Amino acid sequence: MSTQSSRYNEGAVVYTSTRGSFWNKKKIYRSWLLLCYCTGPVASMSRTYVPAAIQSVATLVGKTSKGTKCAFRGNDCYVKLGSGRVHTTSYVLYIRAIATAIEGIVALFLMGIADYSNYRKLFLIGSILFYGMVALPFYGLVEKDYAHLIGLSVLYMLLQITDSIYQILEGSYIPLFMRAAGESVEGENAEEIRKTIVLNKGSKVSVMGLFLGNCGGLTALLIGIIISYTRGGPMEDGYHNFLLAITIAGCLTVVSAVVASFYIPSVKGKDKPKEEFLLLLTMKRMYILLCNIRRYPNAFLYCIAWVIWNVSYSNFLSVFVLLFRSTLGLGSSDAEYTIYTFMSYICGSLGSLTWMFLYPRLGLNIKTWGYGFYFFQIFSTFWGCLGISSNTSIGFKHRWEFWVFEVIYSATGSSLRSLNRTIYSTLLPEGDEAQYFGLEIFLGIATGWIGNLVNATIQDRTGNDRYPFLPNLFLVTISCILYKMCDISQGMEDVSKIVNRSHDSNREVIAIRVDIDNNSKQ
């Protein structure tokens, strides 16, 4: 790591840096982007093809309420789960809820120790390699029986659990790039200028990270399209194409992660307290984190708003993709489904890239952009609620609705996710990035499994695939209210004041404010 230092005298501000030159290097930034690309192939499969394959197998082994073979279109199909039987769509949501609950325990442990480890790079690369390897066995589970359904479900849960590990570690690099961009600020209004530069850099890093991840997902989905339109096969075996695409995506992730491991930098961790047991350290840091609510109230408020939105966003997509296939017909819509999921990533990428391009040029406040994105998120969820009633002819009951709202929801959702990562990174105290990103993941998991469970229960009891949109509408509305309450400027100042008062010898950046007046000059 470079030890070159730089010093800026800005009237009343003296800023000394020994790390910025390292994190400003393009080589380091590009290696991180390559790592984001690595996660894309399997991530796209775990959100689209994996639940679709499980839904197909569950339909093939399930029975209707009258004990007959399930049809490929409609809601009357049930499969065994534990000691009872549940709707096939609910089965996928229940499995997701179980995985999310386990994911929370893993995230809680990781967020407590990641900032103390000098092996963050090793953990990050290792988690992505495992993520890819879990996807490799999918093509071997092609039989249409209950045992293979269980196998698919277990692999799906492993993918969900591993997803949170790499997201915590990957996201903790974003604040490092953002702080480095603001270190070379000069002038009388240095603080305000620095905030603008940091936010612009954050929007670029966050968007490009998601964009490269989407590019990885698009690569895998493109392979899925080629497979679906060339291999063919009978309707009941169409999901075999999904399984093959998932396995190929796992190969892409593993190979890409190995290449990226040679370039991604390590991050020096904080010194671990002597004779401190890691599990106790995790619980102790969680307690300290909660005590910091009064220090960083806006960071916690924004985190909660982001978590609630993320739960509603994830639940919406889970229900949306399953509803697409059950409405248009399992098997007969599989080829179209591959194009549909491909367009989802295209729209998400274009949406976030457009925001990245327009944000520094239009001069709109970053919070104003957020309000616009929230409007379309709320409207899309409300549209789904309209379909609950059998007397309405709209509400995701027609093919055109799925395609139109796929564009709207994916574009604004990806943009809002980029905006959230940008703003949240500016509100975090230096040296605790992994813990605070872990807090967002942990809270999302801690509440997300409840959302999945509620959605599964509602759908299972009502037999209506559109009822889960109702609690999602409530969640996204609450998130928007909390977003409005958050004072971003004050949150950035809170973090700056705490960091500037810190004289920890382990920090690589020390900011010292010096009051200069005419009487004290020598």
Residue 20 has pLDDT above 50, yes or no: no
- How high is the pLDDT of residue 302? 92
Res. 14 pLDDT band, cuts 50 70 90: very low
With the CA atoms of 34, 38, 41 and 47 taken in that order, what torsion angle do they form, in degrees rounded to the nearest 10?
-110
Res. 146 pLDDT band, cuts 50 70 90: confident
- How high is the pLDDT of residue 116? 60
Res. 282 pLDDT band, cuts 50 70 90: low
Q: What is the length of the chain?
A: 522
The one-letter code for the residue type at 81 is: L
More confident residue, 145 or 436: 145
Residue 433 has pLDDT above 90, yes or no: no
Residues 6+ apart with CB under 8 A from 186: 8, 10
Res. 466 pLDDT band, cuts 50 70 90: confident
Residue 520 has pLDDT above 60, yes or no: no
Highest mean pLDDT among 85-89, 127-131, 379-383: 379-383
Closest CA to 366 of 505, 206, 510: 206
- How high is the pLDDT of residue 500? 41
DSSP 40: H
| CB 107, CB 164: distance < 8 Å | yes
- How high is the pLDDT of residue 480? 95
pTM: 0.66
Q: What number is the average pLDDT over the span 435-463?
A: 73
Residue 263 has pLDDT above 80, yes or no: no
Q: Which residues pair with 509 in a beta bridge?
A: 17
Neighbours of 261 (CB within 10 A): 19
Highest mean pLDDT among 85-94, 323-332, 472-481: 472-481
Q: Domain 6-180+199-513, what fold?
A: Growth Hormone; Chain: A; (1.20.1250)
Q: What number is the average pLDDT over the span 288-311?
A: 85
Closest CA to 114 of 126, 102, 97: 126
Which regions of 339-472 does DSSP assign to beta strands (E)? Answer: none
| 3 state SS of 213 | helix
Q: What number is the average pLDDT over the span 12-20?
A: 37
Q: Report residue 258 CA to chain centroid gap.
A: 22
Residues 6+ apart with CB under 8 A from 401: 383, 394, 395
What percent of the chain is modeled with pLDDT above 90?
16
Residue with tokens 């671990």: 272
- How high is the pLDDT of residue 438? 67
- HSE at residue 152, side-chain half, CA atoms within 13 A, is 31
More confident residue, 346 or 506: 346
Per-chain mean pLDDT for the chain: 77
Highest mean pLDDT among 62-66, 104-108, 508-512: 62-66
Which helix (H) or strand (E) segment holds residue 78: the answer is: strand 78-81
| CB 381, CB 480: distance < 8 Å | no
Please report, for residues 249, 312, 391, 467, 506, the alpha-carbon distance to residue 470 in angstroms, rounded to integers and kept in the order given. Answer: 34, 10, 17, 6, 49
What's the CA gap between 327 and 325, in Å, rounded? 5
- How high is the pLDDT of residue 376? 96
| CB 346, CB 409: distance < 8 Å | no
DSSP 266: P
| Tokens standing for residue 411 | 């574009």
Res. 16 pLDDT band, cuts 50 70 90: very low
What's the CA gap between 360 and 61, in Å, rounded? 54
**Domain locations in the chain as residue ranges:** 6-180+199-513
| Tokens standing for residue 293 | 């609510």
What's the CA gap between 168 and 511, in Å, rounded? 27
Q: Are strands 6-10 and 509-513 parallel, antiparallel or unpaired?
A: unpaired
**Nearest-5° Cα angle at 347, 341 to 350:** 145
What's the CA gap between 319 and 407, in Å, rounded? 16
- How high is the pLDDT of residue 26? 79
| CB 209, CB 41: distance < 8 Å | no
More confident residue, 204 or 377: 377
**Nearest-5° Cα angle at 125, 50 to 202:** 90
- How high is the pLDDT of residue 510? 31
DSSP 9: E
- How high is the pLDDT of residue 501? 39
- How high is the pLDDT of residue 386? 93
Neighbours of 295 (CB within 10 A): 13
